[in-house]
Amino acid sequence: GLREGTSMASILRRGDSYSVRFKYKDHAGRICEGWESFKTKKEAQDRKISVEKELLDGTFLIPDAMTVAEMLYKWLPIQSSKHKWAPKTYTHTVAMIQNLVVPYLGKKQIQKVQTYDLEQFYATLSRTPRGLYKQGVKQTLTDKQKRQFLTGASIREVHAMLKTAFSYAVEWGLLLKSPIPREAPKSTSEERAIWDEKTMLAALQTMTDPTLHLAVHLSMILSLRVGEILGLQPGDIDFDAADGRGTITVGRSLQRTEKAALEKTDPNQIYHIFPDQREGSSSALVLKKPKTKKSSRTLYLTRPLKEELLAWLEKLRQDELAMDGRYRNCGQLFRLPNGMPVAPEALSKWYRTWRAEHPEFEKIVFHGLRHSSATYQLIESGGNIKAVQGNTGHATTGILMDTYAHTQDKPRLELAEKLEADFYSQDIGSPKSGSVPVKENLPDGIQITPEGMLKVVRQMNPEQRREFTRLLFA
């Protein structure tokens, strides 16, 4: 064919197409030869100029056949070790990669992934059954599960993972820039189903199993997560604290995790691994550090909850006596009659059994009790976000308010009703030109005028001023 070019790159004509040939050094420093084909001579000439420039200024992207799946499995242990992941985080991320990313993008070479591919991928995920978003293996989905799609929050989680992983590929020199869209997919998550305070109390009064009753009571009053409830120990309770009100301290979480994940995550996250109750089990019950730093917290008991805890401790003593030396005290507050720990899946099963026996209550998952509790606390406290955050253990107030934004509906409805009552009942009379009608008989003689409002604000203490500002912009 016809040859044009320099020592760095050349163009060869092959039949009806043109190829640009160039030499470069690979990741190991070896000299390699690359070829790129184009339909027209003009395209080939443009590419020849650009590839020579890239080779000179060091921006040439060394061809690499690494796939998305290979890149993610290379990134996974590095990320896990760097951020000291808990076993559940590791298992959850593996599930995202295996069940959501690999089936759609796994075989695609990372250097050929475009932003458009990711946008199409997110659109596909929005039509993916939620049942696939599980830990590890393929499942047989029911018709109902097939109709329940991934939430926006789950897709955003996948986006955040890919964004981090592809940033590593850039650092490794495999990509010039990440193809991940700058904006995360819009959230389309549904509002969580919750119970109001009357429903919570009515449901609690129907629970006759003492283990389930105490667990549900703790979740409703203290907004505890399942793992936090089962992670409690008798020593966490101080019945004499707070002038006899009593407190309970949350400092660990009990979870079931895959043994394989334990080997690949930070051992400092684990306080204790319980012995297997079934020989050859691939998973283990572990006591681990709480979800976030804010999750470690001390909570105040109510009188009924305090009385129930005292009765529960007496039950544990009776169980131990009844076993006549065969009792295996695991040290947890929640134990089986033989002294072994109550597993999260057992508590969930008991709750589902109760729920099936009481169809008069709207179906919510056990974690929905925590959401119900937090919502009730926000409303009862008049929106005291910091106080409620101290109880729920959310990492930030922002997360708390994003999760429970719907709690603002009731105060806003009450505000609309108050505006309607006050606005339309004003006695406007015949005001003089330029005057502003004001309300009479306000406390301390303050009138609702701009000057009067400023006087009120100036007289507020810092806490009142913050609360006023929050209400003003809610």
Of 206, 256, 248, the C-alpha closest to 229 is 248
| Minimum mean pLDDT range among 95-99, 119-123, 303-307, 459-463 | 459-463
Token representation of residue 337: 């009659």
Residue 214 pLDDT grade (very low, low, confident, very high; cuts 50, 70, 90): very high
User: What's the whole-model pTM score?
Assistant: 0.60
Mean pLDDT value of segment 14-27: 84
pLDDT digit string, tens, across residues 259-301 = 888 888 888 889 999 998 777 788 899 999 887 777 788 888 9
Give the C-alpha separation, 192 to 178, whole Å: 34
Strands (E) in 291-433, as ranges, are 297-300
Tell me what pLDDT residue 138 has. 46
Give the C-alpha separation, 416 to 413, whole Å: 5
Predicted confidence (pLDDT) at residue 403 exceeds the cutoff of 60:
no
| Amino acid type, 388 | V
pLDDT digit string, tens, across residues 216-238 = 999 998 889 899 999 999 999 99
Average pLDDT, the chain: 80
Tell me what pLDDT residue 341 has. 96
Predicted confidence (pLDDT) at residue 213 exceeds the cutoff of 90:
yes
Residue 147 pLDDT grade (very low, low, confident, very high; cuts 50, 70, 90): low
Give the C-alpha separation, 334 to 231, whole Å: 8
Residue 442 pLDDT grade (very low, low, confident, very high; cuts 50, 70, 90): very low
Report yes or no: 266 and 84 within 8 Å, Cβ to Cβ. Answer: yes
Residue 14 pLDDT grade (very low, low, confident, very high; cuts 50, 70, 90): confident
Predicted confidence (pLDDT) at residue 77 exceeds the cutoff of 70:
yes
Tell me what pLDDT residue 1 has. 38
Separation in Å, CA 27 to CA 61, 62, 64, 112: 10, 7, 9, 18
Predicted confidence (pLDDT) at residue 434 exceeds the cutoff of 50:
no
Angle between helices 152-171 and 115-125 (to 10 degrees): 150
DSSP readout, 427-438?
A: ----PPTT----
Mean pLDDT value of segment 192-218: 91
Give the C-alpha separation, 103 to 259, whole Å: 25
DSSP readout, 162-200?
A: HHHHHHHHHHTTS-SS--S-SSPPPP-PPPPP---HHHH
Long-range contacts of 397-401 (CB under 8 A, 24+ apart): 400/374
Separation in Å, CA 148 to CA 122, 125, 132, 136, 463: 16, 12, 10, 19, 45
| Amino acid type, 205 | Q
Strand (E) or helix (H) holding 318:
helix 303-323
Predicted confidence (pLDDT) at residue 397 exceeds the cutoff of 70:
no
pLDDT digit string, tens, across residues 351-388 = 999 999 999 999 998 988 988 888 777 777 665 666 66
What's the start-to-end Cα distance of the chain, in Å?
Answer: 73
Tell me what pLDDT residue 411 has. 54
Predicted confidence (pLDDT) at residue 146 exceeds the cutoff of 60:
no
Strands 17-25 and 253-258: unpaired
Predicted confidence (pLDDT) at residue 143 exceeds the cutoff of 60:
no
DSSP readout, 326-353?
A: -----S-SSB-TTSPBPPHHHHHHHHHH
In the block, tokens 């808990």 appear at: 86
b/e map 106-139, b = 16+ CB within 10 Å = beeebbebeeeebeebbeebbebbebbbebeeee
Query: Could you tell me which residue, 1 or 133, shows the higher pLDDT?
Result: 133
Separation in Å, CA 386 to CA 207, 382, 405: 32, 11, 15
